[in-house]
Amino acid sequence: MKLEFNLKDNLDKIKKSDSYFHTFINKDSLATGILVLTPGEEDTQEPHESDEVYFIISGNGFLKIKNKDYEISKDKLFFVGKDVPHYFHSNTKELKVLYFFGGSDS
């Protein structure tokens, strides 16, 4: 298994695809990836079957968790429990986020 990852390489994979995210580690116990949303782009994710952590690399906007909006900015970290509705929205700058699942990205 690969043990070292370059975020630039994974950002390039997103640019070459039709998706706004890319999972680059996907094991039974952990999944890790990067998400990029341009201003006005919709975050279409659904609740996940495992807990998740988001680390904001850059950008702005909000993360709605259940019915509450949390303002996002560089270097903030958020926890979202499994099966909890959530999505990013209202960013006016490109948003880059690392995500970590406590299980596989299924």
Is 103 among the domain residues?
A: no
- Please state the rounded mean pLDDT for residues 10-27: 94
pLDDT at residue 2 greater than cutoff 90:
no
Of the chain, the percentage scoring pLDDT greater than 90 comes to 93
pLDDT in tens, 33-58: 999 999 999 999 999 999 999 999 99
Is 2 among the domain residues?
A: no
By residue range, what is the domain housing residue 82? Answer: 7-52+60-91
Distance CA 61, CA 23 (A): 22
pLDDT at residue 103 greater than cutoff 90:
no
Distance CA 4, CA 62 (A): 30
Please give the tally of structural domains in the chain.
1
Tokens of 41: 């782009």
Is 100 among the domain residues?
A: no
Is 82 among the domain residues?
A: yes
Is 104 among the domain residues?
A: no
Is 102 among the domain residues?
A: no
Among 35, 9, 40, 16, smallest CA distance to 100 is for: 35
Is 41 among the domain residues?
A: yes
pLDDT in tens, 4-15: 999 999 999 999
Is 85 among the domain residues?
A: yes
What's the whole-model pTM score?
0.92
